[in-house]
Amino acid sequence: MRWTLLLLLAAAVVAGAAARRRGGQRPSSWEDDDADAPAVDPGTPAYLTPLLEAGKHREAQNASRTSPPLLADLESYSGFLTVDKARDANLFFWFFPADKGMADAPLVLWLQGGPGSSSLLGVFLENGPVRIKRSRRLKRRRGSWTRAASMLYVDSPVGTGFSHANTTEGLAASSEQVGRDLLAALRQFYLLFPQLRANEFFISGESYAGKYAPALAMAIHEANGAAEQDKQGKINLKGLAVGNPLADPESMLEYGDYLYQLGLVDDAGRRRFKEREAVIRDLLAQRRGKSGGGDGRGDNATLFRELTGLRYRFNYLHDSDYLSRSYKQFVQTPAVRRQLHVGNLTYHNRTAVAERLRPDVMQSARPWYEQLLEHYDVLLYNGQLDVADPYPLMVNFIGRMQWSGAAQYKTAERRLWTVDGEVAGYAKTAGRLTEVLVRAAGHMVPADQPKWALDLITKFVSHKPIAD
């Protein structure tokens, strides 16, 4: 999620520089420092692909069921799907059926950004059915997206979270490869849950998923139109919903003007940003664009921090990360490892994936969006307070797209979006595209405004207008 502002560092660099196990105790809370607690067997990873290839679909589904559930009556399934045997590439998934049952509910895939951030962040901090209280106990989330759809969370790309390959070279090196891996996983998922094949399918995510989502959508679109779809089965893709997307670096570079309008830099600071933006554009023109160095944690090395003194870019009202990351400890406790069928496998940080995808950062996803908008609904929403991937830069990206609704978008009326009498934001629709500003939210909209985010996704997957 931290890559967009790091694009500006490129100029500085150039310029100067389970098989299943049953039983166990339900982990409604956990203690990391209880030396007297009895040891819990973390079990072994559940690799489901061999069962699926053998036609043992029911056995695979049973092997993936989280039992006992993390919370009473919380049905879920998790495990690994092998997406490339040559690379020994395996994607971890966690699936939650819709609250009303999966029979008639749409299926929504959630992809985290990064690149390299685990989708378990989405489960516990944003829109999943569970959250972790300060008391370190689990609680159902009132604004869970399972109220609108069945939710499938995938640690993607390979090398993210619990997803893994046998070597670093087995990690995806492009968004296209990420899309192909996700398609391979989806095909197996539909073998695991064949009753979902006819249900409407939507791809969602945020930040760097602004590239993953259209990459997967294009892979599905092409596969659906190919002869092999008769054998593999068609995926009922209906749309994409991406929050605070990084999609087209060149049209999303103009931080200087944005920060100046916010009052976070003066005219001299704006000029310094524009100087770096010009260098990056020159690199792009020469097809030598590279991403900034580092892994996104070196805030003191960024021009943004130098000029503003701020360390946190995901919500400019905060100077530090205000969201708890305790879920990372929770999912690595032996009892939870056992329930999630991950065994003792490493829970990866984002460093290796980010480094592997470094050449991909400056690549544009704009051609994919331009094609997809002719066939599928696309929702692009942005938190008002995000500095990493700001709303005005998303609008810049939309304005540069060449598609059949481009002229209509330029004259479309911006409408007020309200939820229970509250002003949630503003929406504009043209053709199959809807863009939304979510008020009083930062980079992770569902975390900052859960009720409004639920309303947003509910309307989108129900094919209803966002604004009145």
Is position 404 annotated as part of the catalytic site?
no
CA 183/CA 216 separation, integer angstroms: 6
**Catalytically annotated residue among 207, 251, 291, 364:** 207
Site of tokens 């994936």: 353
Q: Output phi, psi for 425, to 5 deg.
A: 165, -155
**Catalytically annotated residue among 175, 443, 448, 455:** 443
3-state helix, strand, coil in the chain (%, to 5): 40, 15, 45
The tokens of 444 are what?
Answer: 């992770």
Peptide bond between residue 68 and the one before it cis (omega within 30 degrees of 0): yes
CA 327/CA 321 separation, integer angstroms: 14
Q: Are 279 and 14 in contact (CB under 8 A)?
A: yes
CA 56/CA 147 separation, integer angstroms: 30
Q: Output phi, psi for 80, to 5 deg.
A: -120, 140
The tokens of 37 are what?
Answer: 């607690």
Region of residue 82 (phi > 0: left; psi between -120 and 50: alpha; otherwise: beta): beta
**Catalytically annotated residue among 386, 389, 448, 455:** 386
Is position 150 annotated as part of the catalytic site?
no
Q: Considering only CA atoms, which of 298, 299, 310 is closest in space to residue 262?
A: 310
Is position 386 annotated as part of the catalytic site?
yes
Residues tagged active-site:
207, 386, 443
